[in-house]
A and B are shown apart, each in its own frame.
Chain A
């Protein structure tokens, strides 16, 4: 099992550009989520999904879109990148929402200039 795979590992964007961060898991997990990690802020939930076709907003959803067309994939789209979106992004999954253990990807470091 590969676990949770995130791509790319690093990305530099210019303000206004759009891009998609990819996340895939091969554990048949129902629950998937995106967090952003900023120094001194911990991890903040952006969006999450409890199953294919179902998504919901977390604490900081503005400027991001998600979709869940399959159980395995949960891409995060930045519609028009802003410097405030410079951060490290983590995808995480678990068997179901509220499960005891989240499995994290290795992160995507995004810089918006």
Chain B
């Protein structure tokens, strides 16, 4: 069965600092991985996705993630965060029936 584990429930950082949000996955089929972002009182939006090809994936708002098959990880990174990046971030893997299976989320709090 497919699953994802987000290793940190909360990540506080200062503005302009780098950040890494960690995600490990488990999958017995072809791996398709996603990061979604949820701003307060909104639905989720796709940030980036890995389907195949280059292991370094670039998304919107300066975020990127690296697919690491040997470590079964898909960590999300940004070199310099802004106050506006404060949100909850969800890692997801496509399940065997095509549905997305989400992690429990990581709340990123960017402080001035």
Residues of A participating in the B interface, judged by any CB pair closer than 8 Å: 4, 31, 33, 35, 40-45, 48, 50, 56, 58, 90, 92, 97-98, 100-102, 104-107
B-side contacts of A106, CB under 8 Å: 41-43
Task: Kindly provide the distance from the CB of A95 to the nearest chain B CB, expressed in whole angstroms.
Answer: 12
Among B55-112, those with CB < 8 Å from A are: 90, 94, 97-105
CA of A58 to CA of B41, assembled, Å: 24
A-side contacts of B9, CB under 8 Å: 40
Closest chain B residue to A35, Cβ basis: B102
- CB-based contact A42/B43 at 8 Å: no
- CB-based contact B99/A42 at 8 Å: no
- CB-based contact B49/A100 at 8 Å: yes
Closest chain B residue to A90, Cβ basis: B43
- CB-based contact A101/B98 at 8 Å: no
Cross-chain pair count, CB within 8 angstroms: 54
Q: Secondary structure at chain A's binding surface: helix, strand, loop or mixed?
A: strand
Q: Which 4 A-B pairs have the closest CB atoms?
A: A104-B43, A98-B98, A97-B98, A42-B104
Offer 9 A-B interface pairs, CB within 8 angstroms, sorted by A: A42-B90, A50-B98, A58-B99, A97-B99, A102-B44, A102-B100, A106-B41, A106-B42, A107-B42
CA of A58 to CA of B9, assembled, Å: 24
Closest chain B residue to A102, Cβ basis: B100
- CB-based contact B99/A105 at 8 Å: no
Closest chain A residue to B51, Cβ basis: A100
Closest chain A residue to B44, Cβ basis: A104
